[in-house]
Chains A and B, each alone.
Chain A
Amino acid sequence: MAENTSVKKEILLPSERKMSRKEKRDYTLHEMKRNYMCYVMLAPFMILFLIFTVIPVVMSLPMGFTDFNMASFPKWIGFQNFYSMFLEDDVFIQSIRTTLIFAIFTGPLSYAMSFMLAWLINELHPTLKTLFTLVFYAPSMAGNIYFVWQLIFSGDQYGYLNAFLMELGFTSAAKQWLTDGNYVLGCVIVVQLWVSMGAGFLAMRAGFQGIDKSMYEAGAIEGIKSRFQELIYITIPSMGPSLMFAAVMQIVSSFTVDIVGRTLAGFPSTDYKVHTIMTHAYDYGWVRYEMGYASAVCFVLFIAMLVCNNLISKLLGKYVD
C-alpha cells in the first residue's frame, strides 16, 4: 500500500503537487513563458478592454461611497449613501419592487419565450426559418423605433389601441394607457418584452444551429420517443453555453429596464409606476447631479445582478464547462 502511494506521488503533475511559495511562483512563470502565445493572442482585445471597460469600472466602483456632484472633487462619506437609500428613500424602495416586477416578467418569461421560439423555428423549412428569425429579431434591429408604441398606446382617439377597442365596442371612451397608473406598468412591460427578446433569441438560434444533427439520429435509434425527451436529453445539454449567454443578456436587459419606460410614460411617470432602480439612478445622476448617490444605487443593482448570474450559472452548471 505504502509503495503504491509513493508511485502515485511521482506521477502527479506539478500543478497538482503541494508546492512552496517560491516553487509555485517559478512554476507559474514557467507556465506563462511556455504559453506566451496565449498572451500575445489575447493582447489586442485585452488592451482595449482594459482601457475602455476595466479602468472605468474600477474607477467608478468607489464613487458609491462618496458625495460627488460633478463640480467639486468627490468627498468620502463611507456607507452614508447606502443608509439613506434603504432607510430614508421611499421612492428607492418602491423602485426595487418595480424592478423586480420587470425582472420577473421580462426576464424568465422572455427567456422561455425566446428559447421556445428558437426551438420551434429550428425545425421549419429553411426559407421560413430565415423569415421568422428576421421577424422576431427585427425589433432589436430597429434601434429606437419603440417610439411607434407611443402611437399605439396614445391616450386620445388617435391611438391605434384606443381606436381599435372603440371600433369593436369594448370601450366607449379613450383610455389613458400611458398616464393611468393602472395600465402604464403593463404597457411598458409589453414594450420591454418586445424590445428585449432579440439578443438572447439570436444567440439561441446560433446555439441550435451549432448542434450536431447526427445526435438526433442517434437519439432516435437509442429509443427517444417524443419531442420533449429530445429536448431534455439532447438539445439542452448540447447548447448549454448558448443558454448561459442568453441568460446573461436577459439579466442585463431585464434588471436595467429604464429608457423604454422613460420614453413612453414620461419622467417621472404617474405615481412612479414604472420608476425602476435604473430610472432612480438616472434621476439622481443626470437630473439632480448627485453622482455619488446614483453610483451607490447602481452598485446595489450590480450586486443583485451578480447574485442572479451566479444562481443561474449554478443552475445551468452541469451543461456548461
Chain B
Amino acid sequence: MKKNKKNLKPSELAALQEAENAAALEALKKRREKEHKKMLKSKGSNKQVGKSWKNDVGIFLLLFFTGLFMIFPIYLAVVNSIKPVQEVFLMPPKLYAMDPTTDNFRDLFKIASDSWVPFSRNVFNSIFVTVVACVFHVLFASTAAFVLSKCKFPGNALLNQVVVIALLFNSTVLYIMQYMVMATLGMINTYSALILPIIASTMGLYLMRQSMSTIPDAMIEAAKVDGSGLLRICWGIVMPNCKPALMTIIIFEFQTAWNTNGGGLVYDEALKTIPVVVQQIAAAGMARQGAIAASAVVLMIPPLLVFVLAQRNVMETMAHAGMKD
C-alpha cells in the first residue's frame, strides 16, 4: 500500500490517511481499555511495567553484593575501633572482635580532654561552624540558584557559566591565593575563615540550580500574575518542590562543614574543630591505631544522623504527586 502512495491523488491520499488514523485510534482505544482493566485488576497500585519476582531477586542480589563492597571497609573500621590492642595485630586478622572493649573510645576522649583547651570547646566549635555554615549556605545558595535558573536578566548566562567553571577549576596555588585574600580581609584565625568559604561553595548552588530548572515556568508565571514577589515565589513555591535536592545539599554541606579542618587558616587552639584535634591525636602514630579507628567512627556519627533524617524527610515529602505543566 505504501508503494502506491506516491501515485495517488491528494484527495485519495487524504481519505486513506483518515482511514488509517481511525484504525489507529480504534487500536489505541482498545489498548487503553485493556490497560485500564489490567490496572483495575492490580488494584491500580502497579504503575511499573515489566515487573517480576525473578527481576526483583536479581536486582536485590546485585545491590546486596555492591553494598557489601561499599560497607565492608567501614565495617572493618568499626570492628577495629572495638578491638583491644592485642587483637589488632593478630595473625591471621579476624573479621570480628573476640573481646570487644570500649578502651579505644575511652583513650580517645582521655587524650582529647588532656589537651590545651577543654574538648567541649572543640565540640562547640564544630557544631557552631557546621550549623551556621549549613543554614546560611542553604539560604543564600538556594536564593541565588532560583534567580540563576528561573529569572531572565542581563548577565544570567555569564554567571551560570562562571559557576560551572569555578567547579572545575582546581589549582595548587588556589589555596595560597585564598589565604592571601583572607589575610587581606583580616579573617585569618577567626570563625569566618572556617565558615564563609563553605557558604560560598558552588556545589550546592549548582545542584539547586539544576534541580530548579525542572520546575515548569508556568507555575512561576502563575505566581507572578497572582502578585507574589520573587522572594516569595522562591521560598513559598519553588523550594517546597525541590525538597529532594534541598535535602541533598543539606547532607553535602553538613558533611563538608563537619569535616572542615581549616588547614592553616586557624591556629588558635580555642578555635580548632574536632577533625583537627583528631588529626593531632592520630599524628602520634601506630601506638594509637585503635584510637584512630575510634575517632573515625565517632566523627562519622553526626553526618550519619543528618543523612538518615534528611532521607526520611525526602521519602515523606515525595509521597504526594508532583505538579503538572
A143-B245 in contact (CB<8A): no
B154 contacts the other chain (CB 8 A)? yes
A-B contact pairs, 25 of them (CB 8 A): A38-B151, A39-B153, A42-B144, A49-B202, A56-B181, A57-B174, A60-B174, A123-B59, A124-B63, A139-B74, A148-B74, A148-B76, A151-B76, A151-B80, A163-B93, A199-B252, A210-B322, A216-B47, A220-B47, A225-B49, A227-B48, A230-B48, A294-B172, A297-B172, A321-B213
A305 contacts the other chain (CB 8 A)? yes
A106 contacts the other chain (CB 8 A)? no
B211-A242 in contact (CB<8A): yes
Shortest Cβ distance from B255 into A: residue: A141
Residues of A within 8 A of B144 (CB): 41-42, 44-46
B196-A52 in contact (CB<8A): yes
Bitwise interface map of B from 16 to 60 toward A, beta carbon under 8 Å scored 1, else 0? 000000000000000110011001000000011110000000010
B303 contacts the other chain (CB 8 A)? yes
Once the chains are docked, how many angstroms separate the CA of A120 from the CA of B60? 9
A56-B322 in contact (CB<8A): no
Bitwise interface map of A from 275 to 308 toward B, beta carbon under 8 Å scored 1, else 0? 0001001101110000100110111011001100
Residue from A141, A240, A248, A321 within 8 A of B300 (CB atoms): A141
Residue from A32, A57, A206 within 8 A of B211 (CB atoms): A206
**8 Å CB interface, B166-225 against A:** 166-174, 176-178, 180-182, 185, 196-197, 199-200, 202-203, 205-207, 210-211, 213-214
Residues of B within 8 A of A157 (CB): 91-92
Identify the A interface with B (CB < 8 A).
Answer: 28, 31-32, 35, 37-39, 41-42, 44-46, 48-49, 51-57, 59-60, 63, 68, 70, 113, 117, 120-121, 123-124, 126, 129-130, 132-149, 151-152, 157-160, 163, 166-167, 194, 197, 199, 202-203, 205-207, 209-214, 216-217, 219-221, 223-227, 230, 238-242, 244-245, 248-249, 251-252, 256, 278, 281-282, 284-286, 291, 294-295, 297-299, 301-302, 305-306, 309, 320-321
Shortest Cβ distance from A136 into B: residue: B70
Once the chains are docked, how many angstroms separate the CA of A57 from the CA of B275? 27
Residue from A39, A151, A281 within 8 A of B172 (CB atoms): A281
A238-B299 in contact (CB<8A): no
Residues of A within 8 A of B248 (CB): 202-203, 205-206
**8 Å CB interface, B215-244 against A:** 229-231, 234, 242, 244
B77 contacts the other chain (CB 8 A)? yes
Once the chains are docked, how many angstroms separate the CA of A126 from the CA of B317? 13
Residues of B within 8 A of A206 (CB): 207, 211, 244-245, 247-248, 314
Once the chains are docked, how many angstroms separate the CA of A191 from the CA of B59? 24
Once the chains are docked, how many angstroms separate the CA of A305 from the CA of B234? 32
B128 contacts the other chain (CB 8 A)? no
Given contacts A148-B77, A220-B47, A227-B50, contact A56 B140 (CB under 8 A): no
Once the chains are docked, how many angstroms separate the CA of A145 from the CA of B76? 10
Residues of A within 8 A of B199 (CB): 45, 48
Given contacts A135-B70, A135-B71, A221-B35, contact A56 B207 (CB under 8 A): no
A48-B140 in contact (CB<8A): yes
